Amino acid sequence: MAGIASPEQAHALVKSLSKLEQPGGLVMSPYETEGQWDFPYAWAPTQMIAMEGLRRYGFNHDADRISYNFLSMLAENFRRDGTIREKYNAVTRSSENCRQSRLQHQRRRIWMDKRGIRRISA
């Protein structure tokens, strides 16, 4: 996102996206350690950072595909229960089966404002 990567580094990163890309967007880690931030979870702020970085280097198709997958997952879950959660299971595209933890399942009134949604979907 900051433009620090060389074009070659950006290409190498895009070739590795498959390690993190799931049906509901990008997961935080390919490793399932039962940690708050690990596989299979996806978080809106990291989706935004990834989309801006991909677009900065001209990978618009990849950014569009991943942002569509995340936003459609968010919309499906919102239609089901009327909430936006802090994280989602990007493999099952749901917030329903996330492991319980202290921060888990915090219901929020649109903590990601319209600007954030516009940035992901741009």
User: Is residue 71 within 8 Å of 26, Cβ to Cβ?
Assistant: no
pTM to 2 decimal places: 0.78
Per-residue pLDDT tens for 35-59? Answer: 778 899 999 999 999 999 999 999 9
CB 42 within 8 A of CB 25: yes
Q: What is the pLDDT of residue 37?
A: 82
